[in-house]
A and B are shown apart, each in its own frame.
Chain A
Amino acid sequence: MKRKFKIFRYDPQKDKKPYYKEYEIEVQDGWTVLDAINHIHFYVDGTLAFRRACRSEICGSCAMRINGKNRLACKTQIKFLGKGTIKIEPLPGLPVIKDMIVDMDPFFKNLEKVKPYFIKYSPLPDEEQLQTPEEREVINEAAICILCGACTTSCPSFWANPDYLGPAALLKAYRFIFDSRDEGAKERLEIINDRNGIWRCHAIFNCTEACPKEINITHYIKKLQNLAVNSEF
């Protein structure tokens, strides 16, 4: 079947302004958007640039805006995108390097701010630290975030203010604060209990809608907000 793709193009070495370019290609049954743009890149227009690696929804490289919403290209089946032209653009809210390539540095810098690593002060056992399946379940969903950035870049609070840590970084904070083994809750709470932290979340839900791993990010941010409030009393 032939499908039309309208793709955001911008090469800072050549273009003053971005523009959209249309490609019409034959797509096969079962193709994802990634298959289609790979095909365009391989056989139609080699100058097209985008990121991808695993093509199996786990590395987080291929997040982009497809028909106006953040999704993983490798997860998005073309047949579920309706009949019309498919519009492909870079993630919103981050500076564009070229075509679908955005500068992810602001995203990772925000992540680094929440001390996104296991913290333990008391001595470790020789073997493993115990954690029951129930305790693990609390953070299980949060721990499978693939750092694709679809959430943070869909958040209007982040668009307004890139200093906002954003849902991905807050989710990471949750993953550690609510880990029964971790001992860094206090220092992390101090970081996220901030104008640019949890209080910038207005429950807009774009993040949760965008998350390709279907993580209910908003829910976890709410947990953090409640924890911060509780600790005031």
Chain B
Amino acid sequence: MLKPKWFYPSYKKDVGEWAWILHRLGGLALIFYLFLHIFVTNRLAAGPEAFNATMKALSTPLFKFLEWGLWGVILFHAFNGIRLVLVDFAGASKYQKALFWIAFVLFLALWIPAAWKFFI
């Protein structure tokens, strides 16, 4: 008897799967950021000079750019999170695609224009 074989599944992704992938990656990014963030803000305990020095070191263009990225991650995860909560508790599963697009538009609308705040 030959054993059946497993192959890696490839599948055409619909919005639901994209949303999940982005939500999951975003969530992971956020939790790792949170770890760093808590350590960094702990400089507050070391007093004003130490804190301000750290903040200064972190205000290079690269960090600004990352912060803007973080804002995007937060926005997407947050709005899609609300979409998920609506599906979970408000019986919104029929409208999940529309909700995704609403969440996506809100995310872009609040994220892209925010760039000037970080770069200018």
Direct contact of A and B (CB under 8 A): yes
Given contacts A156-B17, A226-B88, are A95 and B4 in contact (CB under 8 A)? Answer: yes
B93 within 8 A of A: yes
Please give the distance in Å from A176's CB to the nearest CB on chain B: 21
Q: How far is the CA of A10 from the CA of B20 in the complex (A)?
A: 32
Pick the most buried of B9, B84, B88: most chain A CB atoms within 10 A of its CB. B9
Instruction: From the candidates A65, A159, A203, A226, name the one contacting B20 in the complex (CB within 8 A).
Output: A203
The number of residues on chain B lying at the interface, defined by a beta carbon within 8 Å of a beta carbon of chain A, is 25
Instruction: From the candidates B5, B15, B24, B94, name the one contacting A10 in the complex (CB within 8 A).
Output: B5
B89 within 8 A of A: yes
B49 within 8 A of A: no
Known contacts A95-B6, A203-B16, A203-B84; 8 additional CB pairs below 8 A are A13-B2, A70-B11, A92-B9, A92-B11, A95-B5, A102-B4, A204-B17, A205-B96
A-B contact pairs, 19 of them (CB 8 A): A10-B5, A12-B5, A92-B10, A93-B9, A96-B5, A97-B4, A103-B4, A154-B11, A203-B88, A204-B16, A205-B14, A205-B16, A206-B16, A208-B93, A216-B94, A218-B96, A219-B93, A222-B91, A222-B93
Residues of A within 8 A of B (CB): 10, 12-13, 18, 65, 67-70, 92-93, 95-97, 102-103, 153-154, 156, 159, 202-206, 208-209, 216, 218-219, 222, 225-226
